[in-house]
Chains A and B, each alone.
Chain A
Amino acid sequence: DARVTQTPRHKVTEMGQEVTMRCQPILGHNTVFWYRQTMMQGLELLAYFRNRAPLDDSGMPKDRFSAEMPDATLATLKIQPSEPRDSAVYFCASGLVAGSTDTQYFGPGTRLTVL
């Protein structure tokens, strides 16, 4: 049963520390998304990649957030330095954008708490 995996599942850190979240997309998927979910803002798209190339990161605060895909099996989202307002659940999703297939498959999320 193919699924998106994310690590860590939970992260508690102090303000100013660097946080790295990792995602392994479903094998064969060509598109990877990073979302942030909060009670106030709901589900927001931060960035996404097609065939490892960044397509859109307009939803991401550029001064402290960065997203990369070092290879087809790994996507990373980094926050440096972290702030309390970054506390949220971060989801990675992957999909195969081909023809009429548009389903995004979400991982279980990383719950980040910044103290």
Chain B
Amino acid sequence: QQQVKQSPQSLIVQKGGISIINCAYENTAFDYFPWYQQFPGKGPALLIAIRPDVSEKKEGRFTISFNKSAKQFSLHIMDSQPGDSATYFCAAPHSGPFGNEKLTFGTGTRLTIIP
């Protein structure tokens, strides 16, 4: 059984600031760690994912930093905008025969960007 610990539970950031959300996972034989973004009343949508043959992946204002030895990865949102206000979930694959598709999700971080 995979466990993923996500923090903080909620986060308020000023517009233009940097939002940082952290996740820690347990042992896994698989290397795929996605972040999903969910707006109220909508289903989660993939935001960015990393395969940790690299320690960092950047897509626009969103960056994943990965520390394999510490079993931790984090999402950084640069120049945070009000439109980024949403709930963010990290996820990690289960160990076992299922491959990367069986994910355990973190508990979510509700991000609010204030003007």
A binding-site residues for B, Cβ under 8 Å:
4, 31, 33, 42-43, 45, 48, 55-56, 91, 93, 95, 97, 100, 102-109
Which of the residues A48, A100, A105, A108 comes within 8 Å of B102, measured between beta carbons?
A: A48
Number of residues from B at the complex interface, CB < 8 A: 23
Which of the residues B41, B42, B103 comes within 8 Å of A104, measured between beta carbons?
A: B103
B binding-site residues for A, Cβ under 8 Å:
32, 34, 36, 41-46, 49, 51, 89, 98-108
Whether the Cβ atoms of A102 and B49 lie closer than 8 Å is yes
Whether the Cβ atoms of A106 and B44 lie closer than 8 Å is yes
Residues of B within 8 A of A108 (CB): 41-43
In whole angstroms, what is the CA distance A48 to B100 when docked? 13
Residues of B within 8 A of A105 (CB): 45-46
User: How close is B113's CB to chain A, nearest CB, in angstroms?
Assistant: 22
User: How close is B8's CB to chain A, nearest CB, in angstroms?
Assistant: 15
CB within 8 Å for A109 and B101 given contacts A42-B108, A102-B34: no
Which of the residues A42, A56, A107 comes within 8 Å of B43, measured between beta carbons?
A: A107
